[in-house]
Amino acid sequence: MEKLKIAISQTGADSAVGDLIRQVCNDPAMLELCTPVKLEQEAAYRELERGKVDALVLTSAAEQEKNAIEIIVTDKANIMVLSKEPTAEDIVKFRDILERDFGLQLPRIAIVLETALQNPDLASQITEEHGINTYGPYTVEQIMADDTASHFDGIVTADRSLAQRIVAEMADVAPVLYFAGRERIVTAVYEPAKEEVTEEGVADVSWLTHPFFVATDVIRNRVFYDEARQAPLPKLFHDKREERKRSEAPQANPNNDNTEQAS
């Protein structure tokens, strides 16, 4: 795969975030991973639509993608944020995203709600009818107890506040927002790091670098997933025995019938 080009939205050259952006874009480790390109947000989206960049990283969680499925990527699980009670269709979409974008086969999905489901048998019905390992509903306290969240590949929540509580309980170093459900790949920082400087006196930019890692992982996972499901290669083994049988078969002499008729 060629070296990826990823755009990062520029939020102002004089801001602290702007300084960190320049630091990230000049970091040798980042340059080995991809080619960061600093652009204004409108220009970044244009380049993404034209296929001039492979992905876009937004430096503010407020710059949300419209009509996209919001997923918070953490070290333990991927959290799909909904504004309503989940349905079977939502779980199927989430399963497809986890398989194609995150390379998770047969993912285990948990439903987290603080209120009773309108359909209390939703999880079991999804498991039986769609073959998706679905469990719950759990409360936030239940999903976080005894590290239960780490037993699942995906968590579906009914509103943003529940997702924020789960992430806060996980104490993830640098969660990432991923806007799924589209062919164009867009990630965003979840929130800036609380401590801007590490013990070594170096600015902590993990909250800004992790969206790049997620974007590159999604690109590579999609390539692998799609290639594995393309039409099979043409048959490479050519059986020459069939050709030999045809060539050795007696060929009728077109003149024989004419000779017999003439005699």
Q: 151 or 236: which carries more pLDDT confidence?
A: 151
CA dihedral 209, 210, 211, 214 (to 10 degrees): 130
Examine the domain organization and report whether 65 and 180 are in the same domain.
Answer: yes
Examine the domain organization and report whether 159 and 93 are in the same domain.
Answer: yes
Domain boundary among 153, 171, 189: 171
pLDDT (average), residues 134-156: 93
Examine the domain organization and report whether 141 and 82 are in the same domain.
Answer: yes
Examine the domain organization and report whether 185 and 105 are in the same domain.
Answer: no
Examine the domain organization and report whether 153 and 184 are in the same domain.
Answer: no
Specify the pLDDT at position 263.
41
Specify the pLDDT at position 29.
81
Examine the domain organization and report whether 81 and 205 are in the same domain.
Answer: no
In a domain, 29, yes or no: yes
Q: How confident is the model at residue 262 (pLDDT cuts 50, 70, 90)?
A: very low
Q: Using one digit for the tens of pLDDT, what is the confidence trace for 74-122? A: 998 999 999 899 999 999 999 999 999 999 999 999 999 988 888 999 9
Identify the domain containing residue 130 by its residue range: 76-171
Query: Is 70 exceeded by the pLDDT of residue 236?
Result: no
pLDDT (average), residues 138-166: 93
Q: What is the DSSP letter of 85?
A: -
In a domain, 258, yes or no: no
In a domain, 154, yes or no: yes
Q: How confident is the model at residue 253 (pLDDT cuts 50, 70, 90)?
A: low
Q: Using one digit for the tens of pLDDT, what is the confidence trace for 208-234? A: 889 999 999 999 999 999 988 886 555
In a domain, 257, yes or no: no
Specify the pLDDT at position 70.
94
Q: How confident is the model at residue 41 (pLDDT cuts 50, 70, 90)?
A: confident
In 3D, which of 71, 73, 149 has the Cα closest to residue 108? 149
Q: Which DSSP string corresponds to 128-190?
A: HHH--EEEEEE-HHHHHGGGGGGG-SEEEESSHHHHHHHHHHHT-SS-EEEEESSSSEEEEES
Examine the domain organization and report whether 95 and 165 are in the same domain.
Answer: yes
- Name the token pair of 46: 């244009």
Specify the pLDDT at position 235.
54
Query: Is 60 exceeded by the pLDDT of residue 17?
Result: yes
Question: Residue 129 is part of a domain; what is its CATH number?
Answer: 3.40.1010
d(Cα 158, Cα 261) in Å, to the nearest integer? 90
Q: How many domains does the chain have?
A: 2
Partnered with residue 146 across adjacent β-strands are none
pLDDT (average), residues 10-26: 71
